[in-house]
A and B are shown apart, each in its own frame.
Chain A
């Protein structure tokens, strides 16, 4: 038995008991919610022209509910922006438009295709992941609308690099993140002041985990794109990974396609987002599955983050959200 197996055995009891009991004790959600509302109100008060990045994904859907809690019955003091990769799932785009309409808030959509067409962004091939290319479109949109702050749904538990991210995170003139230049963040006294050309990224759900997000979705009864819940889907089984079959899937010669019950844990670029097997057809069931899950969100669902241990750090330094 190697050491990993040995340690996994030791902790399985803790995982199971957590799955049993945690659904009954969600008081921490009140604390996290109040903190996020406080952060959203600080952005609204201190930044001249903020924008909320809404992708139609679960994290930014939670952000919208938090914005309702912070500002209703008034309108949001910021528009919504979606950087559309052109590789989004159609269900997610439909959900995005329906949600913005229901809330009566202004939705701005800027497409990754635009800089590709104008030659500002280059693709190695047509089906390549467009995650990294979102950077160009985001920076263009920031310049077009002179946004000084972008509110996003990133969480510190997602990835090692994010663990050191500030709630108010300064990006330089080129949209780049420099870990050494980040401001110390004490108490809840956020410093939102900017030098000329600088831009602020604000992460109100920094302290939430994937489990917290799902518990909140269940508690608030939030609608999500149907992809987040178990459904039959044709996939190619590639090692531990289920590659969904769509117009852009490139199958190896001897790969078999089969139908499995799956759900997506993230719904980003169609070419790099893969589902997990699931029987979770509602938020409560997904909470239970998340408690039992033993693969990290990015490890299980993103093909691009497996490229190298520091791929996220490199993209963040280049201005990736």
Chain B
């Protein structure tokens, strides 16, 4: 066995799966869990009993991801479920998003933290409207890697031509919406071809099986270490020094980039500058730290830094504005109709806001623009303008997921009603650049 490659791959990989029941998504996940040795014996025994009871000769792998009693009774999947498996090379977290009418909400949720999206397409059916929607959503959520598993190759006699046809249409569509070019793998989830092991029945396919492809993908959080330094302050705590003096430490997680003692930083949105005096962890002080570490920082000056502020290098600041454009995904059952008060949480800051304008709704499988909608309903995706009660610091979502993402919270019910991705400030005061 090859030694673990610490640079490419390694660490956690989170991926979201998308596809309808008919595409064999549950079977593919079941196969990954199964062939990686994750499924315990007692669960297999339970499946075996189920198969015997239903008069089936084969275990139904899709049952491994079958969830709640309420769902089993109604034959539906309510929500995103998280699954775990590990190979010698890395640990995986699957966000398994079901494909029914709540689909957009679930896929957006699963994709928000994903390093990769695994999209199922049936080789028999080819690309569908739903496939186009999956690819578009994955791209919209900034998922850095796309893998399209062309499933049910057993039903098309492992035909190279059929696969090439599906692959070409998927690649063409991905290019159209500006998405990353997907990794395309011909698979039979039911029989295991090109899932964990390379298949002898696709000699014309030279790429890796699904698992090997996932093992080799870069981790988004590690990639973030090369981006600009972003540190949303979670908490401020006072620490007593040896001489009895009090020092303030700023607790948080480095969402992107790296920091070193002595670096000049800006506190945003206030836009005051200071220097990093110390970087602390429970295991001792550090000279440098990088995403995704959780640390405590000390700065050189006595400043009024609080939860909600973001620390950045003085030379690579966030934008600051109280009005910005965003892509919004409405998640709540209740439609949004009025321009009432709502709370926005971005990073560690929560402020009052309102939807100043709904510019247009993105419609259909390719999410084309539909102008001037009157209301936003569940699963709607729209271009909006948001006005906040006070300026916030942010990045464009395409530059930084952590500082460009937000949720909207209904102040009356405390429910999370929408998720959004910031595009740009509207009036662009660029306080941050001055």
Distance in angstroms between the alpha carbons of A7 and B292 in the assembled complex: 38
**B51 CB within 8 Å of chain A:** yes
For window 244-267 of B, CB contacts with A under 8 Å fall at: 251-253
Shortest CB distance B237–A (Å): 5
* A155-193 interface bits toward B, Cβ cutoff 8 Å, 1 = contact, 0 = none: 011001101100000000000000110111111110101
| A contact residues, range | 35 or more
Question: Looking at chain B's contact residues, is the secondary structure mostly helix, strand, loop, or mixed?
Answer: mixed
| B contact residues, range | 35 or more
Distance in angstroms between the alpha carbons of A310 and B69 in the assembled complex: 6
**B34 CB within 8 Å of chain A:** yes
Distance in angstroms between the alpha carbons of A37 and B282 in the assembled complex: 11
Q: Which chain B residue lies CB-closest to A12? A: B37
Inter-chain contact A191/B414, CB cutoff 8 Å: yes
Q: Which B residues lie within 8 Å of A11 (CB)?
A: 34-37
Q: Which A residues lie within 8 Å of B12 (CB)?
A: 28, 31-32
Distance in angstroms between the alpha carbons of A17 and B78 in the assembled complex: 36
**Contact partner of B84 among A157, A295, A299, CB < 8 A?**
A157
**Contact partner of B88 among A20, A72, A186, A296, CB < 8 A?**
A20
**Contact partner of B282 among A72, A163, A184, CB < 8 A?**
A72
For window 20-78 of B, CB contacts with A under 8 Å fall at: 34-37, 40-48, 51, 57-59, 66-70, 78
**Contact partner of B41 among A8, A69, A161, A180, CB < 8 A?**
A8
**A24 CB within 8 Å of chain B:** yes
**Contact partner of A21 among B4, B281, B407, CB < 8 A?**
B4
Inter-chain contact A41/B88, CB cutoff 8 Å: no
* A297-321 interface bits toward B, Cβ cutoff 8 Å, 1 = contact, 0 = none: 0011000000001100100000000
Inter-chain contact B68/A14, CB cutoff 8 Å: no
**Contact partner of A25 among B10, B82, B251, CB < 8 A?**
B10
Shortest CB distance B201–A (Å): 17
With A14-B35, A69-B294 given, is the CB distance from A8 to B281 under 8 Å?
no
**B139 CB within 8 Å of chain A:** no
Stretch among A109-117, A125-133, A206-214, A230-238 lining the B interface:
A206-214
Sample of 17 A–B contacts (CB below 8 Å): A3-B51, A3-B58, A3-B59, A4-B59, A7-B59, A11-B35, A73-B239, A164-B79, A164-B82, A179-B68, A179-B78, A187-B401, A189-B406, A191-B415, A193-B343, A194-B414, A207-B82
Beyond A184-B105, A186-B112, A191-B416, list 12 extra A-B contacts (CB 8 Å).
A3-B57, A7-B44, A18-B37, A25-B88, A163-B82, A179-B79, A184-B108, A187-B402, A189-B405, A191-B407, A209-B86, A293-B40
Question: What are the nearest 7 A-B pairs in CB distance?
Answer: A299-B42, A296-B40, A21-B88, A15-B37, A193-B414, A37-B294, A186-B112
Instruction: Report A's interface with B, CB cutoff 8 A.
Output: 2-4, 7-8, 10-12, 14-15, 17-18, 20-22, 24-25, 27-28, 30-35, 37-38, 41-42, 44-45, 68-74, 156-157, 160-161, 163-164, 179-180, 182-189, 191, 193-195, 198, 206-207, 209, 211-212, 293-296, 299-300, 309-310, 313
